[in-house]
Structure 1
Amino acid sequence: MAPGFYGADIQHRPLDYWLSPELSAITPANARSRLREIADARGAYMGAWAAGIGVGAALVLLGVVLAARLGTFVLLPALGLPGAALAVLCGFSFVRVRDRLPQTSRALVNRGPGSLRGALSFAGFIVLAFLGVFAFTAKPSTWQDSAALLTLGLVLAFLVCLLLVGIIIPATIMGRSRESLRRKAATDPRFRALLEQDLATWRDPYGNAGYGPL
């Protein structure tokens, strides 16, 4: 535990002290702090909205691919318009939560991977399971059918796309949430002012946790 982490002068520490990478490095990773709660909640919200942006973009792409594959443009607006609307709305929400302090009092439940490594392992398992089921159930003649293989390739590509935007990207954002908060505080004066104001008014309602480390 960092020297002086708890003490009578805990609320008088400047924000730079709590944001210090050195303080974070000598503090247990699971130690609770206000900055870590902010970073984790902000990362969870940003990851969720980023997934929405990606899913919307994937729907637009799917509409384009199906229109070209089937030779009809009926599916393009049917999938593209809702996808574009979803991407735009989630994009606005992403920018909004990126630039504000999140409400850490709300319970955020994340049942997916919380890091890039975990997301890659999960996505790899899903892809291998999909290929295994297909290989086990497909007829031998399927492997000589170019149209069937092309369809399989398109389905697999779309599955990988969904895993990328729905699992890997959000998990990467959440896994780097603390570094993202530190970088945001260093480059955005308005966001730093929000943290300074929060530091001046925040008190731990449950114990004696410090405002940091991050």
Structure 2
Amino acid sequence: MQRVDPVSAYPPASSRTIEQWLDPDLGSRYSAEFGTRLREIADARAGVAAMWAAFLSLGLSAVLFALVMLAVTARVDATVPWMIAGAAVAAVSALFLRRVRRWMPRPGASVASRGPGDLRGGLWAAGAILVALNALFAISVLTTGDFGPILFVDLGTVLLLASAFIVPPAIIGRSRETLRRQAAKDPRLLATLERERLTWTPRPGTSMFGPL
């Protein structure tokens, strides 16, 4: 049966091939805020990937911090449980992060993000928090002259801020470039996007299938 595209003021999904819809030159002709199905897919996938990447970073950070504490204090009983827990979180997160590559969000799906939307914003937010925290400790450090505790606090804070404010925005800010790159390297993903193109119909907020 021949597909009949619904009447719309915008070009139908069948007006271009999936490769043409993914073309960055075509995407540059439309504003970044213009909603399309491909952009919806990219943003939703990046939102979920950012969440699992944050957990992965958090798990690895726990392992790293525990290793530093072990090297300094030699307290196995206080650090090994942190290593085990961190490694478990990292392993589970890596598994789910890998599954995101095969995930196709349903039409209308969105993943809310309350933090910075790109790497630059994440770096500014993390830097501001770190500076503010060190300012609070400055008087105590200058009074006692003991820099040891603040160094441990800074290490833990940097690792935590990286997981929460740097890793997710770095992924979300490059959502569309990532989908384009993955589709170019993964024939299965490209085939899935092609099936999406053949079955997609306009919805409120997404009047066009592409561009990306």
Which residue does 2:47 correspond to in 1? 44
Amino acid at match of 1:142: T
Q: Output the amino acid matched with 2:164.
A: G
- Offset from partner CA, 1:18-68 (integer Å, 9 cap, x none): 111111111111100000000001111111101100100111112222222
- The reply on whether 1:109 has 2:104 as its aligned counterpart is no
Write the distance in 1 (CA, Å) between the matches of 2:206 and 2:183. Answer: 24
Q: How does 1:150-165 map to 2 (within 5 A)?
A: 150-165=148-163
Q: Mark the CA change 1:30 to 1:135 in structure 2 (over 3 Å): closer, same or farther.
A: same
Query: Mean Cα displacement is larger for which, 151-160 or 113-122?
Result: 151-160
TM-superposition CA deviations, 1:100-120 (whole Å, max 9, x none):
223454442211111011001
The reply on whether 1:89 has 2:92 as its aligned counterpart is yes
- Tell me the amino acid that sits aligned with residue 134 of structure 1: F
Q: Deviations over 1:149-192 (max 9, x none)?
A: 02211210221111112221111011001000001111110110
Sort the Cα spacing of 1:103 and 1:61 in 2 relative to 1 into closer, same or farther, 3 A: farther
Select between 29-38 and 66-75 the one with higher mean Cα deviation: 66-75
Provide the C-alpha distance between the structure 1 equivalents of 2:107 and 2:68, rounded to a whole number of angstroms: 41
Aligned residues: 205
Distance 2:167 2:204 in 1: 33
Gaps of 5+ in 1: none
Counterpart position of 2:5: none
Mapped contact 1:50–1:169 kept (Cα < 8 A): yes
Counterpart secondary structure, 1:74: helix
For the pair 1:177 / 2:179, whether they are aligned, the reply is no
In 1, Cα distance between the equivalents of 2:149 and 2:136? 16
Which sections of structure 2, spanning at least 5 residues, go unmatched? 1-7
Moved more, 48-57 or 16-25: 16-25
Q: Deviations over 1:73-107 (max 9, x none)?
A: 01232111111110000000001002322345444
Q: Structure 1: how far apart are the matches of 2:21 and 2:149?
A: 53
Output aligned runs, 1:193-212, within 5 Å: 193-206=191-204, 209-212=207-210
Separation in 1, partners of 2:125, 2:116: 8
Q: Which one of 126, 131, 140 corresponds to residue 128 of structure 1?
A: 131
TM-score (norm 1): 0.89
Contact 1:6 1:208 in 2 (8 A): no
- Which residue of 134, 141, 144 corresponds with 2:143? 141
RMSD value, Cα = 1.9
Change beyond 3 A, Cα 1:77–1:198:
same
Identity %: 37
| Native 8 Å contact 1:45 1:97 kept in 2 | yes
The CA distance in 1 between the partners of 2:62 and 2:114, in whole Å, is 24
